[in-house]
Structure 1
Amino acid sequence: MNDNSENAQGKQFRLLDFQSNCPDCTVAVGEPHEYDEYDGGCDVARCLVTGLQRLICDLDHDCGRDVWTGWWPGQLDCEQLGWMISPGLPDLNRLYTQATWDPARCAWVKPR
């Protein structure tokens, strides 16, 4: 599917459009993703120390409370870096393999 796909009603959409609520834990924009001590909580939430998915973070630190922005994690970073496969489709593989997470900015940046 590409960014020129249409749904059954003929409406054009992008793969990663803005969403007012998190697709997993349903929190609204500006709210922290749900966290559960037992199972980790939201699948979308990121560790603010590593930038990677909070659920798979097994490092001994506090991952912080990631806030839902309305955009899929990494999408705005890819757009900022110019790393898009096509309009509306960020190159997240490139982001996670070539960029560096800056915990102070909570953003992926080009490596120096």
Structure 2
Amino acid sequence: MKTKILLLLCSFLLLSMQCDDNDPDIPEFTLEQKNKEIIDYINSFSCSETAGCGFIGFGSKPCGGPRTYLLFSNGVDIVKLKQMVATYNEMDQENNIKTGAISDCMMRLPPTEVKCVNGVCTIIK
């Protein structure tokens, strides 16, 4: 919930800083839009016992490290997903710098076990 609120606030800040002389051929993505694009992409794949699941660090905490971890079916195009997440993470880090964001600086540990449970990737441990 805190992440969604932070993303919404960041989106409003980014929108308020936009210039009118942007190249119309280059789409501007807010953090919220990029987040939705990534989640929609991940959700377009369901997991199975054979495909399995994975996870990837998502977001950039001001003190370093990911804000959270996204779970995904191993059926995704992992190269595409990594590129999408890397772009999002860079945007988040830039926003942290621009806004002087602060955080609790606690390190988020990755899951140790992720499995497909009833067609949904789930953290076991």
Q: Scaled by the length of structure 2, what TM-score is found?
A: 0.23
Greater RCO, CA 8 A, separation 6+: 2
The structure whose residues are more often strand, as a share, is 2
Q: Scaled by the length of structure 1, what TM-score is found?
A: 0.25
Larger radius of gyration: 2
The structure whose residues are more often helix, as a share, is 2
